[in-house]
Amino acid sequence: MGPRFPTFPVYRVGSISFRSVNHRIQCVSVTLKTAAFGTITVMPTAKLQEGILVNTHDIAGDAVWGVIDPWAVEIWRRIHRFPELGLDTPQTQALVEGILEDLGIEHQQVIAHGVKGFIGPKAGPAILLRADMDGLPIQETTNLSFQSEMDGRMHACGHDAHTAMLLGAARFLKHYEELLERPVVLMFQPGEEGPGGALPMIESGILSDPPVTHAAMVHVDSDQPVGVIGLKSGPAMASPNEFQIVVRGQGGHGAHPDKGVDAIVAAAAIIQASQTLVSREQDPVIPLVVTFGTILGGYRENVLADQVTMTGTIRILQPERRQPILDRFSQLVSDIAHAYRAEAFIDIRPGYPPFVADVAFTNHVGSVLERVLGSQKVVWLTNPSMGGEDFAYIAERVAATNLHVGVVGPGSQSGLHSARFILNEGAIGTGSRALAAVAMLTGSI
């Protein structure tokens, strides 16, 4: 039975108060201003469902965003003008900490230039929200009024927007701190584009005190329209593993190949054979990429090359197949070199692990975002990306998911890592709302 409504005239509903019981929202009392009886308080006995809070507190349409949205866009522009690289992000970190300080949000550096912020109740399983802060060594050519002022550096992957989105969410969450059912940990990390800031922040305790059980990150998506959030559950991003191969032969006159060992022919055979790892040894419905990015060797047209150096990347989606594929690659390269009387020296630098999004948590986040943003604003992505992401280290330890924030709209151009990349700034508000909704409404599932 639902709450019974009074039969006397009510001219204004005063306040409605709720409390949370076992992660359900219970309506405690409703204050009514009536013509006949003045102000009275009604105590409904019915236990209301979780959805009531969502309907009552319209997160996406809250008037507070009228203040937060332009403020967050301004922060994005400020960060965009001064991109910093790798783990060396002191200015961005100082800007973030200054803003957290102004908002009254507890904060500390857990590694050099890696910031942890904290909102909400002190105890209980926490949810972590992550933004990265580093740019790329690219010369910006957008001609934006706030384009990069740092020569040869650009925020071309949208990490400036991620930081602004998380600060927007943080301001909203601080405003409604008393409504938070669980602690919220804010993570502002350097070095996502390499060498990686997430792992050192984990090793410095970002996932403990309070213990984090769930985590969400944002990344701009230049394949989705602005206003839309894309979600992908299960295998979502690849493990990028870099390699360098030095093929050694024996030099000599180009007219007498039999008197030497041609490292170029051996290198060519290695490149060709490596592709059979993808075409002949990998399950054809599961992606795998072997790319040679550079090749360098030889002296002139009539000299046998005694050495060739090659570099490249191997992108793997399956955590359990990662080491076997890398081992098999090394063996194949070495065996092919020997078949051509050459020798190969192989150096593999394993990168971030594959990013596997937790299926149950991603589904839950999806249903929350459909309620808050509207179902037509949530897109389920079918294909994983072969790009890498060091948030994968967090996803190895807690249930985690990635919110792909659409950025295509008026004014946007080009894709990520392009010198011409511009996002539609409406994306910042969508990202902030999505992060805030995930923190407020996913409860301690």
Active site members: 352, 425
DSSP state of 120: S
Give all strands of the β-sheet with 239-248 in edge-to-edge order.
Answer: 288-297, 307-316, 239-248, 343-350
Q: How many CB atoms are located within 10 Å of the residue 263 CB?
A: 27
Q: How far is the CB of 132 from Zn ion (least distance, A)?
A: 6
Nearest approach in angstroms of CB 196 to Zn ion is: 12
Least distance CB 156 / Zn ion (angstroms): 7
Beta bridge partners of 217: 130, 402
Q: Which residues pair with 385 in a beta bridge?
A: 237
State the nearest-atom distance from the C-beta of 88 to Zn ion, in Å. Answer: 17
Q: Do the bridges between strand 307-316 and strand 355-357 make them parallel or antiparallel, or are there none, so unpaired?
A: unpaired
Distance of alpha carbon 394 from alpha carbon 127, whole angstroms: 12
What residues pair up with 268 in beta bridges, in sequence order? Answer: none
DSSP 193: T
- Helices (H) and strands (E) counted in the chain, each on its own, are 11, 19
Of residues 157 and 400, the one with the C-beta less far from Zn ion: 157
3-class DSSP state for residue 7? coil
| H-helix or E-strand spanning residue 258 | none
Tokens 């790319």 found at: 291
- For the chain, percent helix, then strand, then coil, each to nearest 5? 30, 30, 35
Measure the CA–CA gap between 167 and 164, rounded to whole angstroms: 5
Min dist. Cβ of residue 45 to Zn ion (A): 51
* Rounded distance between C-alpha atoms, residue 143 and residue 264, angstroms: 44
Determine the residue with CB nearest Zn ion: 157
Q: Burial, 254: exposed, middle or buried (Cβ in 10 Å; 0-12, 13-18, 19+)?
A: middle
Strand extents, DSSP E, 103-143: 106-111, 114-119, 126-132
- Cite the DSSP H helix spans in 340-399: 359-373, 392-395
Give 221's strand partners: 406
Is the preceding omega at residue 240 within 30 degrees of 0, hence cis?
A: no
Token look-up 């994968």 returns 392
Nearer to Zn ion, 261 or 405 (CB): 405
Task: Tell me which amino acid residue 410 is.
Answer: P
What residue ranges bind Zn ion (CB under 5 A)? Answer: 157
**Residue whose C-alpha is closest to residue 163's, from 59, 60, 83, 64:** 83
Alpha helices in 82-154 (DSSP H): 90-103
Judged by beta carbon, residue 183 or residue 431, the one nearer Zn ion is: 431
Residue number, 157 or 206, with CB nearest to Zn ion: 157
Gap between the Cα atoms of 154 and 148, Å rounded: 6
Toward Zn ion, which CB reaches closer, 157 or 290?
157
Distance of closest approach, residue 4 Cβ to Zn ion, in angstroms: 54
Residue 341 CB, shortest distance to Zn ion, in Å, is 41
Residue with tokens 């908002």: 103
